[in-house]
Structure 1
């Protein structure tokens, strides 16, 4: 099933899953204080398609001034026009929803603006 999932997300053509924030997390952190929750939007690119998702999570400042954002998100494969694989004439199926727990660490000097 692992290889089927790799084929499903077209990893040969699109080897990376991109996550793009539409805000500067450091500005959000300064506004909300030392630690807190975030409830904002991100853009996820999977199999060459980009979709917007709301993400609730926690934001923390690390000792090296990097920010760590933790949370979870539910991604529906149908949003990316992907049909989950099935095996054994449909007896084994992959759900349309993928639950992702994430932890991102970012440094301020790596943030770019478009």
Structure 2
């Protein structure tokens, strides 16, 4: 953790330099990671787990320091909808249909910027653009950092699916209704290439 904090502090100090400081690196999301979408209905709840083995590793990371924050370009986590498993074929099919997977086969999490949280140790605030079914929305997400070389990034993001022009499916003649609010639970263990 010390190594990570020192890394961010050095980057922030470089922000006072008059020129732009740009860096390119790459990370690998390790198999110990998890990304789960938690969904509730009026009668039940279920988890749709992403198979992290199907990520395109390594993930290129491009950033520069700007006004005491890291600004990222083209740094994205691309999640194929077909790599989510909700526990059974029927729910999987409904989930894929909800996301309009035939037209939009992936969800994209694009990292825009990161700021250190000065009030909470080992926490950062990340601005993330999320693209679902062709619609992009921006979110500020608090993330906790743990570990050193193999850093764990943890966070929870609450989304309203109607913000992406998605309509919650209804089953059993409308008796079972999916809640518009979903929760994305991130536990990403990452390692920088070459470290």
TM-score, normalised via structure 2 length: 0.46
What is the deviation of 1:68?
A: 2.8
Deviation sequence 1:57-86 (CA, Å, 0-9, x none): 202343xx3543111010110100000100
Give the corresponding residue for 1:82: 166
- 1-structure distance, mates of 2:153, 2:99: 25
Deviation, structure 1 residue 107: 4.6
Bigger CA radius of gyration: 2
Q: Distance in 2 between matches of 1:47 and 1:59?
A: 30
Q: Displacement, 1:100? A: 1.1
Correspondent of 1:18 among 82, 86, 108:
108
Give the superposition deviation at 1:48.
Answer: 1.4
CA-atom RMSD in angstroms: 2.3
Q: Unaligned stretches of 5+ in structure 2? A: 1-90
* 1:52 matched to 2:138: yes
1:40 aligns with 2:130: no
Structure 1 unaligned regions, length at least 5: 110-114
Structure 1 107/48 Cα, relative in aligned 2: closer, same or farther at 3 Å? farther
Q: 1:94 to 1:104 in 2, by over 3 A?
A: same
- Residue by residue over 1:86-112, the C-alpha shift from the partner in whole angstroms, topping out at 9 and shown as x without a partner, is 011210011101111112244556xxx
What number of residue pairs does the alignment pair up?
A: 101
Please say if 1:104 is aligned against 2:188. yes
Q: Which stretch has the larger CA shift, 39-48 or 100-109?
A: 100-109
Aligned residue number for residue 2 of structure 1: 92
Distance 1:98 1:72 in 2: 10
